[in-house]
Structures are given as C-alpha cells and as structure tokens.
Amino acid sequence: MLNVTKVTCLVGLLTIVSCTGSDGLTEAPKQTRQILDAADRFASYDARRPRRTAGEVAERVLALATIVDPTTVTAHEDLVSAFENAQIRGIEPAWLARPIPARPNVAVDYHLETDDLRVSDMSLVQDYDSPAAVDENSAREVFHRAFEALVSAGIVRRNDYDLTREHVGYTKHGSGSTIDGVTTESAPQISEYHFRVRRLLDNIEFANELVKISIHATGRISRVRVVGAEVGARVGSLKARVLSDADLRSRFAKDYPNGYAEWNQVLYAFGGEENSGVIEPKHVFSFSTVTESDNSTVVSRRKEVRYAITSNDAEPEIWPAPKPDDIGDSRTP
C-alpha cells in the first residue's frame, strides 16, 4: 500500500490533503473486476471536445454558480462580455479566471480547449475552521441534490452517469505549534468532501467527461466542476479484449519496478494532448516512481501510462508526454 500525504502551509495553518493508494500488484476492487470481466468485447467511438460560444459558456456558468450560491444574481450579458473580451485578446487555450459580478466570493475558471468549467465559493474553500456539521452520508445527499440540479439545468444527462460509481475524496486540515521545543498537533479534520462521477460508455468510464461536486464541512456546496465532451457514433465493429487485468498489472510491475499506482482501471480517454478522435478503452495506471537519493526518498510527479487491451505489441501512451529536450523537465519515460 502507498499512503501519500501532501502538506501545504497556509497563513500559519497546516492544510493536510491525504490520499491512500495501492501499488500496481494489488487486486482491483470487486466492482472493478466485475466491470473488466464484462468488457470482453468493446466498441470504439468518435468523440470531441465542444467548442462553446461565449454565450454558451455564460449559460453554464450561471447554472453552476446558482448551485454553488443560490443568491447569485448576475446579468448573462456581463458574463458573455467577459469571455468574449478574453477571446479577443487571444487567451486561448488558457484558463479564464473570472469573478462573478456582485458575488466576489464566487470564482469561475474555464479552460477553453478542454471545456473544463469550475465554479467555487472561495469563502468556503478557504474556510478550515468551521466545525463539521455533516458526515459523509449527509454530504452525499447534498451531492445527489446538486447533481439533479445540473440535470434539471440541462448541463448533464442523468442516464450518462451512475451515481453508485462515485469516487470520494477529502480535504483535511490540521494545526500545530512548537513552543520551547515541545510540538503539539491537532487531529486532522475534514473540511471538504469531494464526489466525482465519470460518464459511462458501455459501462466503462470515460475519463474526459465528468462531474465533481465538493461539499464543505458546514453542509454547503463549495465547488462544482463539469468537464464536457461530445460522443458520436460507434466506429467499426466490436473488438475483442485480449489482455486481462492481471496481464496488464504484471506488465506495469515489469515496466515500472519503482512505480506505485494511486489507481488503475480500464477507461475510455482521449489520447495524449488530443481533444478529438476515435476513443477505445485502455488500462490506465496513474502512478509515481519512488527512488532513494542521498538517504532520502524521492517521489516523482504523478503521471499516467495507458496500455492497449487488445495487444501487447501496441506502444503504451505516457501522459503527460515526456519532453527530455526541455530544460528541467523530469517527465522521462
């Protein structure tokens, strides 16, 4: 097992974001095994990122902002103007960061190329001190209601998602001090629950289309994220899966003896930096490499390797792609 803890200091407060993962040799969860066993034959699809107009982006921003803060009152034209001005200045592809007029606590981030829209209530995101008013089950109920609000607003289609296939993450924080050589620390407390669901294609998750909703410890919605894609018709005939889950876990262990996978599963996904094309399922490992140097443990940045499930001869994809000619780029194959 691999336990990773990221500690960030924020104005004297220790914010601890914890996650627990497993190495590439451990057995996949029962639900994942059932899904993989059922995917002996699969289809390929045409898919692409939507290229939205400023007006379409503004409509989606208003829908998400209303879920995050129901008191949001913003003119549609103001948002259209803000995004149009950014496009005129040539900020593409890029993150467009915009506050909501008259609601400075609500921040909007939108990536034009990947159709990744994030609306956050920063007064909650930055609130680590309020006592917890909800547990995970109560937060899940809020997540379900927020998801239904997205459906009602026409942002997502209910039948594309299965909420029982959610992934739950947490933001935890703790504080500590050292006085006269004596250190005291408080137990980490959950400040946010993060619920993520991906779109399903033939019961297999599509990595590039998802909904993520965060619930603050107070029970209020702190963030809503929607990443969009458009999936067209099937391409060609059904293909047979040749390599099993166990086959590919063994290959990962051989290719990356110092690699530790945070997660691994079969996913549909765009290849590399592409935002359109034919997609088919691949077995994806999200991992870091761990090495020893000068009596210290060095953990690399997270990356992905994607293996074809139809042939061992296919070259695996690495994401982000290695750029060995770039000075300081540590993303080696």
Q: Where are the alpha helices (DSSP H) in 176-279?
A: 245-255
For residue 195, the surrounding DSSP H or E stretch is strand 189-201
Delimit the domains of the chain by residue range.
Answer: 2-47+240-319, 50-177+189-228
pLDDT in tens, 211-231: 999 999 999 999 999 999 999
What DSSP assignment string belongs to 62-130?
HHHHHHH-TT----HHHHHHHHHHHHHTT--SSEEEEEETTEEEEEEEEETTTTEEEEEEHHHHT---S
308: helix, strand or coil: strand
What DSSP assignment string belongs to 214-241?
EEETTSSEEEEEEE--EEEEEEEEEEE-
State how far the Cα of 231 lies from the Cα of 14, in Å rounded to an integer. 42
State how far the Cα of 122 lies from the Cα of 195, in Å rounded to an integer. 18
Arithmetic mean of pLDDT, 150-157: 96
Confidence category of residue 43, pLDDT binned at 50, 70, 90: very high
C-alpha distances out from residue 53 to 110, 188, 200, Å: 12, 43, 26
pLDDT in tens, 270-296: 877 777 899 999 999 999 998 888 888
Confidence category of residue 120, pLDDT binned at 50, 70, 90: very high
pLDDT in tens, 251-274: 999 999 999 999 999 999 987 777
Predicted local distance difference test score (pLDDT) of residue 22: 35
**Phi and psi at residue 292, to the nearest 5°:** -105, 135
Most confident of the following: 147-151, 256-260, 286-290, 298-302? 147-151
Structure tokens at 21: 């993962």
Predicted local distance difference test score (pLDDT) of residue 186: 78
pLDDT in tens, 58-76: 889 889 988 998 876 565 6
CB 113 within 8 A of CB 49: yes
Only one residue has tokens 């995050």, namely: 68
Residue 202 burial (C-beta neighbours within 10 Å; 0-12, 13-18, 19+): middle
Predicted local distance difference test score (pLDDT) of residue 28: 38
Average pLDDT, the chain: 80
pTM more than 0.85: no
Arithmetic mean of pLDDT, 316-320: 88
Predicted local distance difference test score (pLDDT) of residue 23: 35
Confidence category of residue 91, pLDDT binned at 50, 70, 90: very low
pLDDT in tens, 184-213: 887 888 999 999 999 999 999 999 999 999
